[in-house]
């Protein structure tokens, strides 16, 4: 479904982790989640609307399971498991926003960490600063996805249109000049 990238939950008992993994873009429906990139209000700042919708879908299904699993593991082992939310690309953006939602929804004694690989720019600087200890983002050298924002796309499109206009005007001038030379040769 749109706004519902695939996920899985697993346990890493050796490290006392409950791990939520969210897949990146793989289908047309996932692409639709990516392109609903209007900025929407989010904890005093802004975030990516499509990935917020995906995070809201995830929290409705995951929150009760995470709380139950955490409590059962605590009772069974005596250890307080940490919740790790991990994703790549669309999954990373969803994981980052979901981690903020989980931090606000879960009791403070449940530790949460997010590991976001090639995470798109999904939250405003204010929100990023507020939750900087929660999310670790990994970017591979010149990967454009983490740097790609709606505003950057609009600027790029404007520059491309202007470049085309400029190139078109130069082309017309050169074509007229060549035509004049060719016509002059016939005189």
Residues 55 and 97: their CA atoms lie apart, in Å, by: 6
Whether 89 sits among the annotated catalytic residues: the reply is: yes
- How far apart CA 187 and CA 176 sit, in angstroms, is 17
Instruction: Catalytic residue, from 111, 124, 137, 143: name it.
Output: 143
CA 186 to the chain's CA centroid: 62
What six digits make up the tokens of 111?
């530790």
Question: Is 30 among the catalytic positions?
Answer: no
Q: Which of 30, 34, 55, 89 is catalytic?
A: 89
| Helix extents (H) in the chain | 28-35, 49-77, 90-105, 125-130, 150-186
Catalytic residue IDs: 89, 143
């Amino acid at each position: 479904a749109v706004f519902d990238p695939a996920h899985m939950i697993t346990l890493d008992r050796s490290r006392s982790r409950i791990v939520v993994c969210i897949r990146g873009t793989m289908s047309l429906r996932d692409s639709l989640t990516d392109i609903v990139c209007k900025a929407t209000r989010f904890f005093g700042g802004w975030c990516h609307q499509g990935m917020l919708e995906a995070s809201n879908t995830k929290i409705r299904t995951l929150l009760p399971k995470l709380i139950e699993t955490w409590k059962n593991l605590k009772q069974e082992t005596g250890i307080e498991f940490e919740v790790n939310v991990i994703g790549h690309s669309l999954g990373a953006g969803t994981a980052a926003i979901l981690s903020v939602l989980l931090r606000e929804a879960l009791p403070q004694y449940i530790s949460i960490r997010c590991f976001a690989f090639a995470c798109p720019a999904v939250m405003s600087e204010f929100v990023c600063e507020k939750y900087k200890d929660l999310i670790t983002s990994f970017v591979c050298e010149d990967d454009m996805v983490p740097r790609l924002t709606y505003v950057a796309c609009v600027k790029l499109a404007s520059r491309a249109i202007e470049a085309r206009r400029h190139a078109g005007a130069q082309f017309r001038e050169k074509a007229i000049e060549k035509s004049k030379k060719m016509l002059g040769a016939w005189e």
